[in-house]
């Protein structure tokens, strides 16, 4: 059974989500404050952490940093703040995904399953996919730019892999969204994909303002390669 730590100070949300996750076969531990979450994390490993940002004794960002410093436990951040800056900060601190409140339970569970699945190997057979000086080794899930390894989050990797597996083809935003999140497109904040594309370009392109690896095809979507 997969264990989930849910850090949330709103008791109504906490209990509602706890109930649904248990119905779905997860084992759930609740923490209302950062301090309780830290205690629980010391006592047992979790398969996934759901992390609210505004907590009575501090910010979820702090705990995210601590969890990342200690290992690669998947983290999904939950917050009412949907500005691009706070999404970017959460992802920079190592969160795997970010969900804005209010969210639908079915969406949360789909995202959790997607994050857990991404932690496993996407493609076990070794393939080397190259485009514009960037190489993806699928068996090891590693990415290199001009021979140097580039570190990507699980979601960035999945996005890049989707584009590289479909090189020279234009992928619509919806095709990309359903491939990386595996949920109905209307669940996903359109902003989120834009943020991820921007982050990938910053990590991979020589000039992120004039991308040559991940191109925008106006009105249609995105394309890797010519």
Binding site for Ca ion (CB under 5 A): 9, 52, 54
Provide the minimum distance between the beta carbon of 29 and Ca ion in the complex, in angstroms, as a whole number.
17
Could you tell me if 222 and 170 are in contact, meaning their C-beta atoms sit under 8 angstroms apart? yes
Total residue length of the chain: 226
Residue spans of beta strands (DSSP E) within 92-226: 97-100, 128-131, 134-137, 142-145, 148-150, 214-217, 221-224
Provide the minimum distance between the beta carbon of 55 and Ca ion in the complex, in angstroms, as a whole number.
6
Could you tell me if 160 and 211 are in contact, meaning their C-beta atoms sit under 8 angstroms apart? no
Residue 39 Cα distances to 5, 15, 77, 109, angstroms: 11, 20, 19, 25
Minimal CA–CA distance to 41: which of 86, 8, 84, 71? Answer: 71
Residue 120 Cα distances to 74, 143, 181, 212, angstroms: 11, 16, 15, 30
Q: Which is nearer to Ca ion, 52 or 156 (CB)?
A: 52
Q: Which is nearer to Ca ion, 9 or 36 (CB)?
A: 9
Provide the minimum distance between the beta carbon of 17 and Ca ion in the complex, in angstroms, as a whole number.
13
Q: Which is nearer to Ca ion, 54 or 94 (CB)?
A: 54
Q: 151 φ, ψ to 5°?
A: -90, 125
Provide the minimum distance between the beta carbon of 94 and Ca ion in the complex, in angstroms, as a whole number.
20
Provide the minimum distance between the beta carbon of 206 and Ca ion in the complex, in angstroms, as a whole number.
41
Q: Which is nearer to Ca ion, 97 or 205 (CB)?
A: 97
Nearest residue to Ca ion, by Cβ distance, number only: 54
Q: Could you write out the DSSP letters of every residue in 156-185?
A: HHHHHHHHHHTTTS-B-HHHHHHHHH-S-G
Q: Which is nearer to Ca ion, 52 or 96 (CB)?
A: 52
Q: Which is nearer to Ca ion, 54 or 225 (CB)?
A: 54
Provide the minimum distance between the beta carbon of 7 and Ca ion in the complex, in angstroms, as a whole number.
9
Report which DSSP code applies to 19: H
Provide the minimum distance between the beta carbon of 13 and Ca ion in the complex, in angstroms, as a whole number.
8
Q: Which is nearer to Ca ion, 90 or 221 (CB)?
A: 90
């Amino acid at each position: 059974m997969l264990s989930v730590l849910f850090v949330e100070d709103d008791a109504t949300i906490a209990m509602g989500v706890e109930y649904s996750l248990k119905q779905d076969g997860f084992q759930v531990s609740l923490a209302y404050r950062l301090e309780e979450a830290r205690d629980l994390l010391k006592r047992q490993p979790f398969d996934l952490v759901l992390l609210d940002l505004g907590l009575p004794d501090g910010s979820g960002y702090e705990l995210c940093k601590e969890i990342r410093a200690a290992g690669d436990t998947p983290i999904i951040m939950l917050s009412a703040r949907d500005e691009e800056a706070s999404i970017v900060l959460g992802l920079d601190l190592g969160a795997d995904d970010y969900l804005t409140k209010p969210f639908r339970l079915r969406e949360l569970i789909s995202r959790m399953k997607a994050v857990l699945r991404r932690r496993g190997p996407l493609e076990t057979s070794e393939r080397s996919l190259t485009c514009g000086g960037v190489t993806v080794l699928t068996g090891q899930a590693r990415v290199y730019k001009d021979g140097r390894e580039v570190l990507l989050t699980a979601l960035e990797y999945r996005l890049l892999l989707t584009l590289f597996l479909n090189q020279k083809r234009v992928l619509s935003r919806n095709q990309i969204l359903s491939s990386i999140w595996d949920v109905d497109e209307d669940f996903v904040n359109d902003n989120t994909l834009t943020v991820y594309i921007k982050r990938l370009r910053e990590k991979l392109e020589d000039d992120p303002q004039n991308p040559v690896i991940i191109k925008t095809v106006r009105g249609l979507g995105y394309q890797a390669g010519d």
